């Protein structure tokens, strides 16, 4: 070595590995309009499909006449449930173990339900003809209120299963009952409540919302009759699952189905499920022998594919009078709409809702969830969260504030007193989850110090006094949320989808020149996987990230995986990537030992090379070893340098964070302005801080939308009244607050690189933080729980009910 | 339906087409000219993913008919980079400042920002936020989009870009 030899640190920096703010690879095409999204795909002879949809929420379908539609020039075919019955596809299985109509079969169960599918030469003709399908309906009484769904006189939504006493998740106690699911120890929790000094009970509602990615759901199906093969391009967060489900439903052998998810314009859970549009496009392609494109419009997207939340959570906390929590109970009614098409791991009908004990050391806890059918769209996806985790985080974080209020304790002090302590990790919750790692007090202290929490409370006190004296009409709210997520599904002992264990995968091939390709079972929808997975490989293998191509979404080439949602890409496929790298590295070490004529154990790893211990000038770089792997491997060794890993994580990961929001609320207009929002996240090892920060910004903005304005609302006749961007609130740059981000790092002990996943944390923590800020503004007036969304009207109404306008 | 002949300039090239009078400009650009930059994100002119620059104005191409723009001069994201492939300062800024994630809103956002900077060379943060409020982004939370536009404004004016203190 001489002075010109780069140091280890210099070499490491050039790799652009983990911890580096590497610029994104995918941006080069996106900033030039050269992404390849589904609607960009054009095939020779391609047809377009469009739906005729139900104007009614609940009605019998007496007759469907497609004559006029079929007669429109350019229309190739019109498909109804009768057509689908000939191929046994009028109904399809859902991920939750229920069945769902593909096209209305005798009845419609929610407004905008798919009734007929028109296939035409162009999209305008398809839309024209869809209007001409004549459907005779006979209206039925409808119900859109989940709390009334199991009453004696509730209209029966699902006549197909009305006499079925046993559902996919156990006994059903009413024709509109989907399941009852419980976790925790009821007797122990009841005992805690019987003995408690103080208890609170509040109905906490998380309204129905929709993920609303900017690109809607869409697909192109192309069936090759000669080969008997189907190629399906689509907006799929989980392309392999779509292939398997597609094969099971269509009976086309799985190896003859090619599912390809190209660039995806945002997913947020909306693109996990299988929708009637996909089935109809496939059938249409089989029927016509031509490729068929189906593209949802925004109204169809908001009103039919994959709502989220709609949880009615009666939440109770028991505590001692000095503020130590002793028990938690939550009874929830979950509105699943007309079909249980919830996207959860199959055995978990309420997802991972039992993370509801949150970040606190509850000795006893019990939850019970009843799913019910209503005349609303099916779905129940995890909108930027792990399965039902955001509902749980909202309930516990709201309830903790309500209990603090009753105890006359500061919400931060009350939380601090009950947070799981660092020395308790790995911590087993009252629901049996084993939290992998955490340092909660450090995070909360850092957050409080950074924002000057004590001073803020002082200021708030003065503001409230001024308000009482009539000197101001503004109230100051300080919102706090300390959340713990459970992500990275998942251990196969806990989680499967339709029997497929929720592992994930990475396959890495290093080429002779030291570049390579990594293919994975996940699928980016904007998370920047092409950038970050390469960073993991760069650090693990000592090859520059720029020399690694990352490919996802093609089920013919990618190893099997369960896809991207529930913050599972980094915890599961990220782990698979590291493990595959380690297999490659082990082989490279043997090659290096052979070339350097030393024993394997005499070598040590140094950033990008194996060097002889005590003699660092004798080394072989990974690039040299890649070349050697293809021409001078040790005798008896297979040539080549590649590996595949299917990673079944030993546990979930448990990211956490402390968020603080300062808000000013005008009691006369109901408008509120976020003065400050500080988010501290701990996602374990940080792969790309730039991308993490971007994920936090985006998730907080979605949380802001949810807390402050989003709702998929139905009127009592079952009309969905918020199905376009006229009525469904998406924040613009003007409303969106400025975000301050911060972090602590507590690696996951069971993950190969210690990473926990981050994309969903800001949604999970953000929603209760905003809501707590609004509620905190009014808390000193005796108000305990103002329901979301906190738009101006609702906030004004809350102020009015408190007598503030007299 | 009877078709009409239209001609216009798109990204400095003369183009022609035969369209139904009801054909939306966005469909003409995407289906007939095979552009992939302008996207469709809503049906109500709210999202701005279809934004193009038309005769010196930012226009949502889902809200105009192709026949209305006969003779117009249109620029889309495909016409932003220099002929030699050098990215426009905005394209560079979006990448440098991590102003995009899924990339679906990006072409419309950049084309809108292009016109904003033509109208106001040195916009304040509030002016940028107002200026792009017709374009929705679901991924980034806008903060880095604002930075990306500031980066481009500085670059175009030839002054060094300094990130505002958080």
- pLDDT the model gives residue A249: 87
Phi, psi of B116 (to 5 degrees): -55, -45
- pLDDT the model gives residue A343: 84
- pLDDT the model gives residue A443: 98
Compute CA distances B124 → A741, A749, B28, B129, whole Å.
Answer: 22, 46, 35, 9
Q: What is the pLDDT of residues A398-447, one digit of tens each?
A: 999 999 999 999 999 999 999 999 999 999 999 999 999 999 999 999 99
Phi, psi of A297 (to 5 degrees): -90, 175
Q: Which residues contact A776 (CB under 8 A, 6 or more apart)?
A: A401, A411, A477, A478, A479, A480
Tokens 């929790």: give the residue.
Answer: A189
Tokens, residue A382: 């995890």
Which of A244, A240, A243 is CA-nearest to residue A221? Answer: A243
Q: What is the pLDDT of residues A634-670, one digit of tens each?
A: 999 999 999 999 999 999 999 999 999 999 999 999 9
Q: What is the pLDDT of residues A251-307, one digit of tens each?
A: 999 999 999 999 999 999 999 999 999 999 999 999 999 999 999 999 999 999 999
Top pLDDT among A306 and A768 is at: A768
| Closest residue of chain A to B93, computed from CA coordinates | A31
Check residue A355 and give left, alpha or beta (phi > 0: left; psi -120 to 50: alpha): alpha
% of chain A with per-residue pLDDT over 90: 95
Is some CB atom of chain A closer than 8 A to the CB atom of B14? Answer: no
How confident is the prediction for chain A on average, in pLDDT? 97
**Partner-chain residue, chosen from A214, A693, A694, that has the shortest CB–CB distance to B47:** A214
Contact B41 A215 (CB under 8 A): yes
| Chosen from B85, B141, B145 to mutate, greatest number of chain A CBs within 10 A | B141
Phi, psi of A370 (to 5 degrees): -110, 120
Chain B closest-CA separation from residue A24 CA (Å)? 7
- pLDDT the model gives residue A141: 98
Q: What is the pLDDT of residues A24-66, one digit of tens each?
A: 999 999 999 999 999 999 999 999 999 999 999 999 999 999 9
Has residue A490 got a pLDDT over 90?
no
Tokens, residue A165: 């006493």
Which of A111, A237, A527, A535 is catalytic? The answer is A237
A441 is catalytic: no
Task: Determine the Cα–Cα distance for residues A638 and A650; give it in Å rounded to an integer.
Answer: 31
- Using an 8 Å Cβ cutoff, are A526 and A532 in contact? no
Q: Chain A, 622-681: which have a CB under 8 Å from a chain B CB?
A: none
**Partner-chain residue, chosen from B91, B95, B104, that has the shortest CB–CB distance to A24:** B95
Tokens, residue A558: 């990618």
Contact A264 B102 (CB under 8 A): yes
% of chain A with per-residue pLDDT over 70: 100
Task: Determine the Cα–Cα distance for residues B151 and B141; give it in Å rounded to an integer.
Answer: 17
Contact B102 A265 (CB under 8 A): yes
Q: What residues in A contact B77, CB-CB < 8 Å?
A: 31-33
DSSP state of A5: S
> What is the dotted CATH code of the domain comprising B4-79?
3.10.20.30
Q: What is the pLDDT of residues A366-382, one digit of tens each?
A: 999 999 999 999 999 99
Which of A630, A607, A615, A387 is CA-nearest to residue A496? Answer: A387
Which of A146, A142, A566 is CA-nearest to residue A340? Answer: A146
Region B148-158 average pLDDT: 97
Sign of CA dihedral A276, A282, A285, A286: negative
Reduce the secondary structure of A268-323 to three states and give it as a string: CCCCCCCCHHHHHHHHHHHHHCCCEEEECCHHHHHHHCCEEEEEEEEEEEEECCCC
Instruction: Please tell me if the domain spanning B4-79 has the same topology as the one spanning B89-157.
Output: no
**B99, B101, B106, B109: CA torsion to nearest 10:** -50
Tokens 């399941």: give the residue.
Answer: A179
Tokens, residue B66: 């192709």
Q: What is the pLDDT of residues A119-168, one digit of tens each?
A: 999 999 999 999 999 999 999 999 999 999 999 999 999 999 999 999 99
Has residue A2 got a pLDDT over 60?
no
**Partner-chain residue, chosen from B27, B41, B77, that has the shortest CB–CB distance to A214:** B41
Q: What is the pLDDT of residues A90-99, one digit of tens each?
A: 999 998 999 9
- pLDDT the model gives residue A576: 97
Contact B104 A28 (CB under 8 A): no
Sign of CA dihedral B12, B17, B20, B23: negative
Domain ranges in chain B?
Answer: 4-79, 89-157
Q: What is the pLDDT of residues A184-197, one digit of tens each?
A: 999 999 999 999 99
- pLDDT the model gives residue A171: 97
Compute CA distances A402 → A254, A486, A773, whole Å.
Answer: 52, 24, 12
Which of B129, B3, B16, B126 is CA-nearest to residue B71? Answer: B16
Has residue B165 got a pLDDT over 70?
no
Tokens, residue A703: 């949380």
CATH 1.10.150.120 is held by the domain B89-157: yes
Reduce the secondary structure of B52-105 to three states and give it as a string: EEECCEEEECCCCEHHHHCCCEEECHHHCCCCCCCCCHHHHHHHHCCCCCCCCC
CB-side exposure of A385: number of CA atoms within 13 Å? Answer: 36
- pLDDT the model gives residue A5: 78
A760 is catalytic: yes
- pLDDT the model gives residue A433: 97
**Partner-chain residue, chosen from B44, B110, B134, that has the shortest CB–CB distance to A31:** B110
| Closest residue of chain B to A31, computed from CA coordinates | B91
| Closest residue of chain A to B140, computed from CA coordinates | A698
Has residue A496 got a pLDDT over 60?
yes
Sign of CA dihedral A383, A384, A385, A387: positive
- Using an 8 Å Cβ cutoff, are A89 and A249 in contact? yes
> What domains are defined for chain A?
8-35+504-647 (3.30.365.10), 38-140+216-264+272-304 (3.90.1170.50), 307-426+433-489+652-801 (3.30.365.10)
Helix (H, G, I), strand (E, B) or coil at A416: helix
Strands A75-79 and A114-120: antiparallel
| Closest residue of chain B to A734, computed from CA coordinates | B129
Is some CB atom of chain B closer than 8 A to the CB atom of A618? Answer: no
Task: Determine the Cα–Cα distance for residues A75 and A133; give it in Å rounded to an integer.
Answer: 12
Task: Determine the Cα–Cα distance for residues A103 and A85; give it in Å rounded to an integer.
Answer: 10
> How much is the ipTM here?
0.98
Q: What is the pLDDT of residues B99-147, one digit of tens each?
A: 999 999 999 999 999 999 999 999 999 999 999 999 999 999 999 999 9
């Amino acid at each position: 070595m001489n002075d010109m030899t780069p140091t280890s640190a210099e070499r490491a920096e050039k790799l652009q590995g983990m911890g580096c703010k590497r610029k994104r690879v995918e941006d080069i095409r996106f900033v030039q309009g050269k992404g390849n999204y589904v609607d960009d795909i054009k095939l020779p002879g391609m047809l377009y499909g469009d739906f005729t949809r139900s104007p009614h929420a609940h009605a019998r379908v007496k007759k469907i006449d497609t004559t006029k539609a079929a007669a429109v020039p350019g229309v190739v075919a019109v498909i109804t449930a009768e057509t689908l019955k000939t191929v046994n596809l009028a109904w399809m299985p859902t991920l939750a173990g229920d069945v769902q109509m593909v096209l209305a079969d005798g009845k419609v169960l929610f407004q905008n339900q798919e009734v007929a599918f028109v296939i035409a030469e162009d999209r305008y003709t398809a839309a024209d003809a869809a209007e001409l399908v004549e459907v005779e309906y006979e209206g039925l009484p409808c119900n859109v209120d989940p709390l009334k769904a199991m009453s004696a006189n509730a209209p029966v939504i699902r006549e197909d299963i009305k006499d079925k006493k046993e559902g996919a998740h156990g006994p059903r106690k009413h024709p509109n009952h989907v399941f009852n699911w419980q976790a925790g120890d009821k007797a122990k929790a009841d005992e805690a409540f019987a003995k408690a000094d103080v208890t609170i009970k509040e109905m906490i509602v998380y309204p129905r919302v929709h993920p609303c990615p900017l690109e809607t759901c869409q697909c192109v199906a192309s069936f090759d009759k000669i080969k008997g093969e189907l190629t399906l391009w689509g907006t799929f967060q989980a392309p392999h699952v779509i292939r398997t489900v597609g094969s099971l439903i269509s009976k086309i052998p799985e190896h003859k189905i090619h599912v390809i998810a190209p660039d995806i314009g945002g997913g947020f859970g909306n693109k996990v499920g299988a929708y009637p549009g996909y089935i109809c496009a496939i059938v249409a392609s089989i029927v016509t022998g031509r490729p068929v494109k189906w593209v949802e419009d925004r109204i169809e997207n908001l009103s039919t594919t994959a709502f989220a939340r709609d949880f009615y959570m009666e939440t109770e906390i028991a505590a001692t009078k000095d503020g130590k929590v002793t028990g938690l109970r939550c009874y929830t009614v979950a509105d699943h709409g007309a079909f249980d098409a919830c996207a959860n791991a199959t055995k978990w009908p309420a997802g991972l809702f039992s993370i509801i004990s949150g970040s606190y050391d509850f000795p006893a806890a019990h939850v019970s969830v009843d799913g019910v059918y209503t005349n609303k769209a099916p779905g129940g996806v995890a909108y930027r969260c792990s399965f039902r985790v955001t509902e749980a985080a909202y309930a516990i974080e709201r309830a903790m504030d309500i209990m603090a209020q009753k105890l006359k304790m500061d919400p931060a002090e009350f939380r601090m007193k009950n947070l799981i302590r660092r020395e308790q990790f790995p911590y087993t919750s009252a629901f049996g989850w084993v939290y992998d790692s955490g340092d909660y007090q450090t995070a909360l202290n850092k957050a409080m110090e950074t924002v000057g929490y004590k001073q803020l409370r002082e200021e708030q006190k003065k503001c409230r006094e001024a308000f009482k004296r009539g000197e101001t009409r503004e109230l100051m709210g300080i919102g706090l949320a300390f959340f713990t997520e459970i992500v990275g599904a998942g251990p196969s002992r806990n989680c499967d989808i339709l029997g497929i264990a929720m592992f994930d995968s990475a396959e890495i091939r290093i080429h002779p020149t030291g570049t390579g390709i990594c293919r994975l079972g996940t699928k980016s929808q904007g998370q920047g996987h092409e950038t970050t997975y390469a960073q993991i490989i760069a650090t693990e293998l000592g090859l520059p990230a720029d020399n690694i191509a990352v490919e996802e979404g093609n089920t013919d080439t990618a190893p099997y995986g369960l896809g991207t949602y529930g913050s599972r890409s980094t915890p599961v496929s990220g782990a698979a990537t590291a493990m595959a790298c380690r297999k490659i590295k082990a082989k490279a070490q043997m090659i290096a030992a052979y070339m350097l004529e030393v024993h394997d154990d005499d070598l040590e790893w140094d950033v990008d090379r194996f060097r002889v211990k005590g003699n660092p000038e004798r080394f072989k770089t990974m690039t040299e070893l890649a070349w050697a792997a293809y021409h001078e491997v040790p005798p008896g060794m297979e040539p080549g340098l590649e590996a595949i890993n299917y990673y079944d994580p030993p546990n979930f990961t448990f990211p956490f964070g402390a968020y603080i929001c300062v808000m000013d609320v005008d009691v006369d207009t109901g408008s509120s302005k976020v003065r400050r929002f500080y988010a501290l996240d701990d996602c374990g090892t940080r792969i790309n801080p730039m991308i993490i920060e971007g994920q936090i910004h985006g998730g907080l903005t979605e949380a802001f939308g949810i807390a402050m304005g989003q709702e998929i609302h139905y009127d009592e006749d079952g009309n969905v009244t918020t199905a376009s961007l006229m009525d469904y609130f998406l924040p613009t740059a003007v409303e969106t607050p400025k975000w301050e981000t911060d972090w602590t790092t507590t690696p996951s002990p069971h993950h190969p690189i210690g990473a926990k996943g981050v994309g969903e944390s800001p949604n999970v923590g953000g929603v209760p933080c905003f809501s707590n800020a609004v509620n905190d503004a009014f808390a000193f007036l005796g108000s305990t729980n103002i329901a979301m969304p906190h738009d101006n009207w609702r906030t004004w109404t809350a102020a009015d009910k408190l007598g503030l306008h007299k | 339906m009877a078709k009409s002949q239209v001609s216009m300039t798109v990204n400095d090239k003369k183009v022609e087409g035969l369209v139904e009078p009801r054909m939306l400009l966005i469909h003409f650009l995407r289906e007939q000219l095979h552009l992939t930059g302008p996207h469709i994100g809503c049906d109500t002119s709210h999202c701005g993913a279809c934004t193009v620059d038309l005769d010196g104005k930012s226009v949502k191409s889902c809200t105009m008919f192709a026949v209305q723009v006969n003779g117009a001069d249109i620029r889309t994201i495909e016409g932003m980079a220099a002929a030699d492939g050098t990215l426009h300062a905005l394209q560079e800024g979006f990448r440098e400042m991590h102003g995009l994630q899924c990339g679906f809103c990006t072409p419309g956002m950049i084309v809108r920002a292009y016109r904003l900077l033509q109208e106001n060379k040195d916009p304040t943060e509030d002016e940028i936020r107002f200026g792009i409020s017709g374009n929705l982004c679901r991924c980034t939370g806008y903060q880095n989009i604002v930075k990306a536009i500031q980066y481009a404004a500085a670059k175009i004016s030839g002054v060094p870009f300094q990130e505002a203190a958080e």
